[in-house]
Amino acid sequence: MEVRLEMARKPKVADGQVIQYTTLKVRLYPTEAQAELFEKTFGCCRYIWNRMLADQRRFYEETGAHFIPTPAKYKNGAPFLKEVDNQALTQEYNKLAQAFRVFFKSPEVFRHPKFKRKKDDRDSFTACSHEFESGPTIYTTRDGIRMTKAGIVKAKFSRRPQAWWKLKRITVSKTKAGKYYCSILYDCPVKKPEPVVPTPETTLGLKYSMGHFYVADNGEMAGPPRWLKQSREKLVRIQQKLSRMEPGSRNYEQAVQKYRLLHEHIANQRRDFLHKESSRIANGWDAVCMRDDDMREMSQKVMLGNALEAGFGTFRELLRYKLERQGKSLVLLDRYTPTTRTCSVCAMVQSGVDYTASAWTCPKCGTIHNREVNAAKNIKLEGLARLCA
């Protein structure tokens, strides 16, 4: 998955090249001492975030000015902060400063930074790699990752970086099931892709579908794989067993662990499906047209399904950067474009449409439309008009 960052110093690249940011996620197998250090770092990051945020609020109430103290100001009063990587604490300061920047810029979109709680927030910390004469502070080995203070942590790589990629930073995280992962961010110079000029034959229109995930203008439909449904059925059975167990018992704790592992398995299955489907479309089409639907708003209005659970917003973002890497276009239409009630043959906009019906007949030209396929065709036509404008 691509990650874009604003760097203080932009890397130098040759003419005709651009910097592409790529993240590789690997599984970590730390020793007991390394796992203990990770847990301390997680706690110190929460502590320093909450202390800086509390002091910022207090300073603002007293003076009316915005000021965030640096982590160094807390180390004398909290000596345990010296036991963890200083880079992890520095990154918490940078994250808090960035959270305030986006909040002050768009308060109607981004909310005010809030305090972190152990039971609500994900355990994670970030550390940047720095180059010295002796070498980088963070680097990968044949079967592990060398980190500051933790040393070489054993890791399992599903994919290896290229020799010319430069490691920028890592983010170590722990799942609810107790597994450790590391997301490694690289910047790599690549040849700037040539813009691809799409044609009507090489352009695809996609519409979100509650029953099929998406419906294309050519009638193609994609639904979540069968094994994803089977995993959800297992999850229901585990939830039923948990409701009949005594909280705190050994059987209850074992069932909770199974529940967490299955939740993580379902998330991995969904992510795998989204990546494979977005890659297939990005490699096979020159342009994709979609509507910029607000999935959160849609999930609140539709009572018979969970629009957020499908991951269509993530699918849209994956498709965007995969198309951009090939010089292709993703056209997003306004979410209120009347694609469903517009006839794709005569362009008549119907005043009222039964959204529960799978088909409708145009009163002007008499064409019988599949409701979702017709909407996908209108999305494609509108997207092509924008591309040609």
Residues 315 and 274 sit within 8 Å (Cβ to Cβ): yes
Per-residue confidence at 297, pLDDT binned at 50, 70, 90? confident
Residues 315-327 as b/e (b if ≥16 CB within 10 A, e otherwise) read bbbbbbbbbeeee
Q: What's the mean pLDDT when you consider all of the chain?
A: 88
Around Cβ 36, how many Cβ atoms within 10 Å?
11
pTM: 0.83
Give the pairing type, strands 213-216 and 203-209: antiparallel
Name the strand (E) or helix (H) holding 136. strand 135-136
Per-residue confidence at 307, pLDDT binned at 50, 70, 90? low
pLDDT score for 308:
62
pLDDT score for 377:
94
Residues 19 and 188 sit within 8 Å (Cβ to Cβ): yes
The residue with greater pLDDT, 208 or 184, is: 184
- Residue 86 has φ and ψ, to the nearest 5°, of -65, -30
Residue 183: alpha-carbon gap to chain centroid: 12
What is the rounded distance in angstroms from the CA atom of residue 369 to the CA atom of residue 356?
A: 14
Per-residue confidence at 303, pLDDT binned at 50, 70, 90? low
* Chain segment 16-60, per-residue pLDDT in tens: 788 889 999 999 999 999 999 999 999 999 999 999 999 999 999
Residue 35: alpha-carbon gap to chain centroid: 26
Residue 337, pLDDT above cutoff 90: no
Residue 4, pLDDT above cutoff 60: no
* Chain segment 313-328, per-residue pLDDT in tens: 899 999 999 999 999 9
* Chain segment 80-106, per-residue pLDDT in tens: 999 999 999 999 999 999 999 999 999
What is the rounded distance in angstroms from the CA atom of residue 362 to the CA atom of residue 368?
A: 6
Among 66-75, 223-232, 357-366, the range of highest mean pLDDT: 66-75
Residue 186, pLDDT above cutoff 90: yes
What is the rounded distance in angstroms from the CA atom of residue 320 to the CA atom of residue 328?
A: 9
pLDDT score for 2:
41
Can you tell me the mean pLDDT for 338-364? 82
pLDDT score for 3:
39
Residue 353, pLDDT above cutoff 50: yes
* Chain segment 116-175, per-residue pLDDT in tens: 988 877 899 999 999 988 889 999 999 999 999 999 999 999 889 988 899 999 999 999
Instruction: Report in angstroms the alpha-carbon separations of 175 from 95, 181, 313.
Output: 21, 8, 22
pLDDT score for 13:
66
**Three-state DSSP state, 244:** coil
Q: Facing residues of 290 across strands?
A: 332
pLDDT score for 40:
97
- Return all residues near 78 (Cβ < 8 A) that are at least 6 apart: 47
Residues 277 and 222 sit within 8 Å (Cβ to Cβ): yes
Helix runs in the chain, H state only: 32-63, 86-105, 226-243, 250-284, 295-301, 312-324, 371-388
Instruction: Report in angstroms the alpha-carbon separations of 282 from 6, 96, 279, 286.
Output: 26, 35, 5, 7
Residue 95 corresponds to which amino acid? K
Sorted by where each begins, the domain ranges of the chain are: 17-191, 200-388
* Chain segment 222-272, per-residue pLDDT in tens: 876 677 778 888 888 998 988 889 888 989 999 999 999 998 888 888 899
Please give the DSSP secondary-structure letter assigned to residue 205: E
Q: Which is it for the CA torsion 183, 186, 191, 193, positive or negative? A: positive
pLDDT score for 24:
95
